[in-house]
Amino acid sequence: MPATPSRSQNTSRRVAAPVAAKRDLDAIYGILSKTYTTFDETDDPWMTNGLSSTPFKSLVSVCLSTMTITKRVVNAAVPLYEKVSTFEELRDLPDDELRRIIKPVAHYNRKTKNLKEMARQIIEDYGGSIPDNRDDLIKLQGVGRKCVDILMNFTLSQDSIAVDTHVLRVLNRLGVVDTTSAKQAADLINAQTPARHKRHAHEWLIQYGMKICVARTPKCAHCPLTKHCDWYAEHRAA
C-alpha cells in the first residue's frame, strides 16, 4: 500500500485551507494536451448518447449528474429525453413519472423536486431560455458551482473549468491547490489557467484523474507529470 497522501483522497477529514501558490500550469497543461483527447474526439458516452445535444439536455443532464457516474446518468437521461425536450414538458411531467424515470441517479427524489422547480424558474423568470451568465445560472434550483462551470464551458462557450471530485484530487496532489473546497479550487484554477488552455482544461484533468491519478492508488509509474507533482516528491521520488 502507498503512503497516505497529504494532498489527496482524505480531503474530507481536512477543513478547507487557503489555496497554495501557483505552479507551472502552462507546462502541466502542455503535457496533458498531448496526452488526452477532448470529449468530442472520443466515444465518450455523454456525447454519443446526446446528453448535451441541446441546451435543454445540457442543463438537465448536468443536474442529473451530481454525485452520479455517467452510466447511471445515461440510464436516466435517455428515457427522460424520449418523454420531454422542453422546459414546459418537463414542468408538466407528473412528479411520480419523473421520479420513476430518473431513479438510476443518486438523490432522485431531491432531483425530481429540483428539476421541476428549475423548469418553472426558467419559464417564469427567464422567458423559457437558459440564462447566459453566472449570476442567474447559480439561482436555478439544483444548479451549483460545478454545474455552472460546465454549462459556461460546454453550452455557452464561455471558457470555464469545472472542478469535480477527480479534478479536485488531481489539483491537490500536484500542489496547484491545497483545499478541500471545490469552489476555492475552481476560483484559483480559473484565475490562473492560461487563456489558451481554459476551453479543454476540465476535459484533460478529469480524464487524467480517472485514468492515472486515480483515487485509491495513483499510477505514478505511468504519469507524465511526476516532476510537477508535490505528492510524488513527498512519497515516491525517494
Interface with ligand SF4 (CB under 6 A): 173-174, 212-213, 218-220, 223, 225-226, 229, 231-232
Cell numbers of 118, please?
Answer: 428549475
Smallest distance from ligand SF4 to CB 147, Å: 26
Angle between helices 145-154 and 55-65 (to 10 degrees): 150
Least Å distance, CB 67 to ligand SF4, is: 23
Q: Are 186 and 145 in contact (CB under 8 A)?
A: yes
CA dihedral 169, 173, 175, 178 (to 10 degrees): 50
- The smaller minimum CB distance to ligand SF4, of residues 74 and 223, is found at 223
Of 196 and 211, nearer to ligand SF4 (C-beta) is 211
Task: In angstroms, give the least distance from the CB of 222 to ligand SF4.
Answer: 8
Total H helices, total E strands in the chain? 14, 0
| Shortest separation between residue 234's beta carbon and ligand SF4, angstroms | 9
Distance CA 82, CA 129 (A): 20
Residue with smaller CB distance to ligand SF4, 147 or 174: 174
Confirm if 168 and 185 have CB atoms less than 8 A apart: yes
**Residue 6 vs 86, nearer CB to ligand SF4:** 6
Question: Quick one: angle between helices 165-174 and 182-192, nearest 10?
Answer: 70
Q: How far is the CB of 24 from ligand SF4 (least distance, A)?
A: 13
Question: CB-wise, 116 or 235, nearer to ligand SF4?
Answer: 235
